[in-house]
């Protein structure tokens, strides 16, 4: 069993069984309907549950759990789940995660909420509930726990001056924890909407709240199992897809592998889960989903429940939540525009699958792509931007000066202007059986998620750019040996010098110039690869089970369906790159020329990797996204 403290990987297309299906005998139950007779759901297991018993078995230090249900109205006994990092922290770190407000700060907050009393044992907010409020403890104590399979994992006890909440207060997602008054308490209750107003308007309190919220979420991911179970197989591409989707969207979960966990066989029999149901996603109170698409998983877990999609016309819709799109959203929202972000998978884009970005300004020790994306997303939401997860755009139409963007689920959203930041994806290797091994030996991202597969093994990284270099250096800390395969004569023309030096200095990395993979071999998953040196004509066959493909860039422009002018490589042409012939063919209707970053369709902009002739760097993408906003203001004023 593993917990989702790991970071993301594989930015694959959304696959799965469409909307997902309930597994075993649960196929007839609607996801949100009350359990029918015989409809076994996660919360219906006796306390302590089957899985909890398995986790706690053999742990002599664990608190004994009674074999009976707790008395009516009383909470179940908190326990420490074995294998988790202790929830105790150093004094300095605890002060950052659970800061204490002084009297003046509480007085500033008072007009935004109301004072109330809570009796001992009263649940103030609960796991899985939406629109959680923030509570400042004035008198008494509030305990924060993570419910899991009939037991409660203690997280913290909030003392007077301390406050509850994490980033779900900013995003509007369901709460991951339960808060209960330990004794008769006096509290200041502030709604999530008012909290979002405070972080926008009060710099001091906003900084205190945001730092604490983000640290608490990281702590939850690292130290609690969460309320989501994923049962899958290491040989299943869809299992890896769902693990990456949950991880990159900062959703804590517990993973059970059918081939490694002896308890899963009994558990599968209990829930009537068949082999062809794998992977299965489970959430308390809902029927398990068999191999759901990313969109179905997002709906299942309530990622977008706080957003009423067709409710209004937005000032700006940003399509894509990579570095360029998030930068555009942050600057536009901070300047007062009503912003909606559409993201087809998870925030971060291609950069989100990078294990470490070391040449981004302001981070001398480097930062992972996901950490950068998480910070940018919270920053955008802080200023009021909304984000729809796993809701990719499917088409763009202009109707009466409004843009209508169709989504893959058949719904649509409207805006007065659009920023396209859908980025690129790595090209597939030109091998006839490549799809057989994608997610089962061939990967398009290199993070801790994929690195787990590589311990003590020889692996191959295909590509000569910075992403490939970062992957090779990172994976060399896990793999027995890393083979870097490039078609050219070397790395000097395509990779940053600091990465080249690390590759040259590492005894665990070998560069193979003029070399390409010719074939992949295996049954359920990749087992062997054969590569050929184009200069020497020598072929080698290696027992390599993991290949990381990071070559080329295919722009994600198909959804535009020819609505804007593209270059011969299908990147979007903008601003001065649009020739008079391009504008004439597109029937450009205005006297002025397109602004920088503006496409052949007025008020539609393109930024980042998707844009023709962009530099394909994270820093430049951020610059383009923020720079485009000044022209958004101009077109909205026309």
Residue 36: the pLDDT is 35
Cα distances (Å, whole numbers) of residue 531 to 249, 344, 372, 534: 36, 34, 35, 10
Rounded CA-CA distance 197/381 in Å is 11
Do the beta carbons of residue 574 and residue 609 sit within 8 Å? Answer: no
| CATH fit for domain 91-194, picks 2.60.120.10, 3.40.50.300, 3.20.20.70, 3.40.50.720 | 2.60.120.10
Rounded CA-CA distance 602/608 in Å is 18
Residue 160: the pLDDT is 97
The ranges of the chain annotated as CATH 3.40.30 are 2-69+225-290
Fold of the CATH domain 309-426+554-637:
FAD/NAD(P)-binding domain (3.50.50)
**Which architecture, in CATH terms, is 2-69+225-290?**
3-Layer(aba) Sandwich (3.40)
Nearest residue to 552 via CA among 571, 535, 566, 539:
571
Rounded CA-CA distance 481/478 in Å is 9
Rounded CA-CA distance 317/517 in Å is 41
Do the beta carbons of residue 370 and residue 449 sit within 8 Å? Answer: no
CA 560 to chain centre: 24
Q: Which residues pair with 187 in a beta bridge?
A: 116, 137
The dihedral of CA 156, 162, 165, 170: what is its sign?
negative
Do the beta carbons of residue 83 and residue 160 sit within 8 Å? Answer: no
* Longest Cα separation, the chain: 80
Rounded CA-CA distance 42/297 in Å is 16
184: Cα within 13 Å, side-chain hemisphere: 0
What number of other Cβ atoms are within 10 A of residue 537's Cβ? Answer: 7
Nearest residue to 216 via CA among 247, 250, 248, 173:
250
Walking along the chain (638 residues) 10 residues at a time, the average pLDDT comes out as 41 51 40 35 39 37 31 42 47 86 97 97 90 92 88 92 93 90 97 93 95 92 84 90 94 87 75 84 87 95 80 93 98 97 94 87 91 94 94 92 93 96 93 93 91 93 94 96 96 94 97 97 94 96 96 92 95 97 96 97 97 93 97 96
The ranges of the chain annotated as CATH 3.50.50.60 are 309-426+554-637, 434-549
| CATH fit for domain 434-549, picks 3.40.50.1100, 3.30.1330.10, 3.50.50.60, 3.40.50.300 | 3.50.50.60
Rounded CA-CA distance 386/389 in Å is 10
Cα first-last separation, the chain: 58
Residue 306: the pLDDT is 73
Rounded CA-CA distance 419/300 in Å is 28
The ranges of the chain annotated as CATH 2.60.120.10 are 91-194
Rounded CA-CA distance 423/611 in Å is 8
82: Cα within 13 Å, side-chain hemisphere: 15
The dihedral of CA 396, 397, 403, 408: what is its sign?
negative
- DSSP assignment of 527-554 equals EEEEEEETTT--EEEE----EEE----E
Residue 67: the pLDDT is 32
499: Cα within 13 Å, side-chain hemisphere: 26
Give a three-class secondary structure readout of 79-141. Answer: CCCCCCCCCCCCHHHHHHHCCCCCHHHHHHHHHHCEEEEECCCCEEECCCCCCCCEEEEEECC
Task: Kindly state the DSSP code that residue 444 receives in the 8-state scheme.
Answer: S
Cα distances (Å, whole numbers) of residue 193 to 165, 168, 190, 306, 536: 13, 12, 8, 11, 66
Cα distances (Å, whole numbers) of residue 159 to 139, 155, 204, 522: 8, 13, 21, 58
Cα distances (Å, whole numbers) of residue 67 to 47, 124, 199, 476: 7, 27, 45, 48
């Amino acid at each position: 069993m593993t917990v989702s403290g790991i970071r993301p990987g594989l930015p694959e297309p959304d696959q799965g069984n469409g909307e997902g299906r309930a597994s075993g005998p649960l196929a007839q139950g609607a996801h949100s309907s009350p359990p029918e007779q015989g409809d076994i759901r996660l919360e219906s297991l006796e306390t302590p549950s089957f899985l909890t018993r398995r986790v706690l078995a053999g742990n002599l230090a664990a608190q004994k759990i009674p074999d009976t249900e707790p008395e009516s109205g009383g909470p179940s006994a908190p326990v420490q789940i074995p294998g988790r990092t202790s929830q105790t922290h150093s004094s300095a770190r605890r002060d950052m995660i659970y800061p204490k407000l002084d009297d003046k700060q509480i007085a500033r907050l008072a007009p935004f909420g109301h004072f109330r009393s809570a009796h001992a044992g009263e649940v103030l907010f609960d796991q899985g509930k939406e629109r959680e409020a923030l509570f400042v403890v004035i008198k008494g104590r509030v305990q924060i726990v993570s419910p899991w399979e009939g037991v409660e994992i203690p997280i913290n006890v909030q003392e007077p001056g301390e406050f509850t909440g994490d980033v779900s207060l900013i995003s509007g997602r369901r709460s991951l924890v339960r808060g209960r008054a330990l004794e008769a308490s006096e509290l200041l209750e502030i709604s999530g909407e008012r909290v979002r107003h405070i972080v926008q308007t009060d710099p001091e309190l906003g900084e205190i709240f945001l730092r604490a919220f983000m640290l608490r979420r990281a702590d939850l991911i690292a130290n609690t199992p969460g309320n989501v179970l994923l049962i899958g197989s290491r040989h299943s591409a869809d299992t890896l897809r769902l693990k990456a989707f949950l991880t990159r969207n900062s959703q804590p979960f517990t993973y059970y592998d059918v081939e490694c966990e002896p308890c899963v066989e009994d558990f599968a029999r209990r829930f009537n889960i068949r082999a062809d149901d794998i992977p299965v996603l489970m959430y308390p109170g809902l029927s398990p989903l068999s191999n759901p698409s990313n969109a179905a998983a997002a709906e299942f877990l309530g990622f977008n429940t706080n957003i009423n999609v067709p409710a209004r016309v937005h000032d700006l819709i940003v399509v894509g939540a990579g570095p360029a799109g998030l930068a555009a959203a942050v600057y536009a929202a901070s300047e007062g525009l009503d912003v909606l972000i559409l993201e087809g998978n998870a925030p971060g884009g291609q950069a989100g699958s990078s294990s470490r970005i070391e040449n981004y300004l302001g981070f001398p020790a480097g930062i992972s792509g996901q950490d950068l994306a998480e910070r940018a997303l919270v920053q955008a939401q802080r200023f009021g931007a909304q984000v729809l997860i796993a809701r990719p755009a499917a088409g763009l139409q202009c109707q009466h000066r409004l843009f209508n963007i169709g989504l893959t689920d058949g719904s649509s959203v409207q805006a007065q202007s659009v920023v396209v930041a859908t980025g690129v994806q790595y090209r597939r290797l030109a091998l006839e059986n490549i799809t057989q091994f994608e997610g089962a030996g061939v990967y398009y991202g290199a993070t801790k998620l994929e690195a787990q597969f590589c311990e003590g093994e020889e692996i191959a990284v295909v590509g000569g750019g910075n992403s490939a270099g970062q992957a090779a250096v990172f994976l060399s800390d896990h793999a027995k040996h890393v083979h870097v395969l490039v078609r050219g004569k070397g790395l000097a023309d395509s990779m940053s010098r600091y990465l080249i030096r690390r590759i040259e200095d590492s005894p665990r990395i070998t560069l193979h110039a003029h070399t390409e993979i010719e074939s992949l071999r295996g049954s359920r998953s990749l087992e062997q690869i054969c590569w050929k040196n184009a200069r020497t004509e020598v072929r080698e066959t290696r027992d390599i089970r993991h290949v990381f493909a990071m070559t080329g860039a295919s722009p994600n422009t198909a959804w535009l369906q020819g609505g804007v002018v593209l270059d011969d490589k299908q990147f979007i042409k903008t601003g001065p790159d649009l020739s008079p012939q391009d504008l004439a063919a597109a029937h450009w209707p205005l006297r002025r020329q397109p602004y920088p970053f503006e496409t052949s369709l007025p008020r539609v902009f393109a930024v980042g990797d998707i844009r023709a002739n962009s530099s394909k760097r994270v820093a430049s993408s951020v610059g383009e996204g923020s720079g485009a906003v000044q022209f958004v203001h101009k077109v909205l004023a026309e």
